[in-house]
Amino acid sequence: MSMFYELMMKKKGIPSRYQEVEYIESTGTQWIDTGIVPSATIQFVCDVEFTDILVGRVGTIKSIPGKNYANRHYFGVLSSRFIGANGNIYNHSITNANTNRHIFSLDNKGLSIDNVLVYSHTGEYETNLSFYLFACNDNGSANYYSKVKIYNSQIYDNNRLVRNFIPVYDTLTNKYGIWESVQGKFCGNAGTGDFIGA
Q: Is residue 183 part of a domain?
A: yes
Q: Is residue 57 part of a domain?
A: yes
* pTM, rounded to two decimals: 0.89
CA distances from 9 to 4, 5, 6, 84, 168 (A): 9, 6, 5, 31, 17
Q: Is residue 153 part of a domain?
A: yes
- Reported as a single tens digit per residue, the pLDDT across 76-88 is 998 899 988 877 6
Q: How many domains does the chain divide into?
A: 1
Minimal CA–CA distance to 48: which of 110, 131, 132, 105? 105
Q: Is residue 5 part of a domain?
A: no
Domain containing residue 184: CATH number: 2.60.120.200
Lowest-pLDDT range of 36-45, 120-129, 166-175:
120-129
Beta partners for 152? 47
The rounded mean pLDDT for the chain is 87
Confidence check: pLDDT of 44 > 70: yes
Range of the domain at 30: 15-197
What is the pLDDT, as a whole number, of residue 45? 97
What is the distance between the alpha carbons of residues 71 and 127, in angstroms, rounded to a whole number?
Answer: 5
Minimal CA–CA distance to 20: which of 189, 171, 163? 171
Q: Is residue 3 part of a domain?
A: no
Q: Is residue 46 part of a domain?
A: yes
Q: Is residue 147 part of a domain?
A: yes
Q: Is residue 8 part of a domain?
A: no
